[in-house]
Structure 1
Amino acid sequence: MLNRVVLVGRLTRDPELRYTPTGVAVANFTLAVNRTFSNRQGEREADFIHCVAWKKSAENVANYLKKGHLAGVDGRIQTQSYENNEGRRVFITEVVAESVQFMETRRSEGSQSSSYGGQASEDPFANGSPPIDISSDDLPF
């Protein structure tokens, strides 16, 4: 079986970074991904896809991506359900990001120019941070 998703889109708002009670970082963000076709009015529509990143990837997303930034996500689809306050079953579909790529250089303050396909001016993975002490109970899968 195969469950693989690859997306490229722009963040619709700044990522939300939180930590689980055991200290594992989790970031939620939404990507606007343009469709490959136009509607009857000749306009391109977009899908708004909820994504979640975990651990160091979550911290990097929160520190280096902001609303409007172009990002690539490689991950898998995950579905969940819960019962809301009204007793109705609510279903959620999201992409669990296993890899997030920064698709443009960091914009300088007040500058509107950007470069696509480049790398971020500061590499968030360069410092070689120490391993995270985590148990399998902390993982969402």
Structure 2
Amino acid sequence: MSLSKIVVSGRVIRAPEKRFTPSTNVAVTEFAIAVESAPRADGATETAAVKIVTWRDLAERCAQEIKKGDLVAVDGRLQINNYQAQDGQRKRDVEIDAIAVENLTAVVGGASSGAGASDDYAAEPKLARAGAKSGGPKANKSEDLDTIFASEDEIPF
């Protein structure tokens, strides 16, 4: 199993499904988003479906606030699970273990149709962060961005 930091955005293509772990009764919500690659030299892009897994309070909030068609940003750890299937073949699952999920639909006009950005910035996106308490004071947005986006000096390539 490998772990690494990742930030992606995309449209929710599979509605969130909440369940609870059998032994500890911890909330787990899973959904999938469509993530588009950067354009190649010929202008073509590829789209991949990425499974998102959230836990505890974040799972509860995502189950309530995220719906199919929403544009979301996800901050988390890329997790690659290698296993052997019942038929004997080696399989690999790629998923993101989310630390924070932000619903960007409100920023782009509140519609999940993807019609484009709106000049109405009154509605703030909802930021769900693991370990954050519901209804607490708003976090400093610049600090949130600093934790999500590294400076160019820190990029290893």
> Structure 2 length as normaliser, TM-score?
0.64
Contact 1:107 1:114 in 2 (8 A): no
Aligned counterparts of 2:114 and 2:82: Cα–Cα separation in 1: 41
Q: Are residues 1:29 and 2:34 paired?
A: no
| Structure 1: stretches of 5+ with no match in the other structure | 129-141
Equivalence map 1:66-81=2 (5 Å): 66-81=67-82
Pairing 1:86–2:87 present: yes
**Cα pair 1:104 1:119 within 8 Å, conserved:** no
* Counterparts of 1:68 and 1:44, CA distance in 2: 20
Distance 1:35 1:125 in 2: 34
Relative distance call for 1:115 and 1:125 in structure 2 (3 A) is farther
Flag the 1:80–1:15 CA change in 2: closer, same or farther, 3 A.
Answer: same
Secondary structure of the residue that 2:4 maps to in structure 1? coil
Give the alignment's Cα RMSD to 1 decimal: 3.2
Q: Structure 1 residues 48 and 5 mapped into 2: Cα distance closer, same or farther (>3 Å)? A: same
**Structure 1 residue 125: Cα displacement:** 5.6
Contact 1:104 1:114 survives alignment (8 Å): no
SS of the aligned residue for 2:37 comes to strand
* Unmatched 5+ stretches in structure 2: 137-157
Deviation at 1:119, TM superposition (A): 2.4
Q: In structure 2, what is the Cα distance between the partners aligned to 1:56 and 1:92?
A: 24
Q: CA separation in 2, counterparts of 1:12 and 1:68?
A: 6
Aligned to 1:127: 135
Check whether the contact 1:102–1:119 (CA below 8 A) recurs between aligned residues: no
Residue 37 (structure 1) shift: 0.9
Deviation at 1:126, TM superposition (A): 4.1
The answer to whether the aligner puts 1:20 opposite 2:28 as a matched pair is no
Q: 2:141 maps to which residue?
A: none
Indicate the residue corresponding to 2:57 in structure 1.
56
Cα distance 1:63–1:39, how it changes in 2: closer, same or farther (>3 A)? farther
Q: What CA distance in whole angstroms lies between the structure 2 residues aligned with 1:3 and 1:43? A: 27
Measured in 2, the distance between the counterparts of 1:102 and 1:5 equals 17
How many pairs were matched up?
123
What CA deviation, in whole Å up to 9, does each residue of 1:53-75 have, x standing for no partner?
A: 11111111111111110100011
Q: What secondary structure does 2:60 align onto?
A: helix
Shift of 1:127: 2.8
Aligned mates of 2:135, 2:116 — CA distance in 1: 25
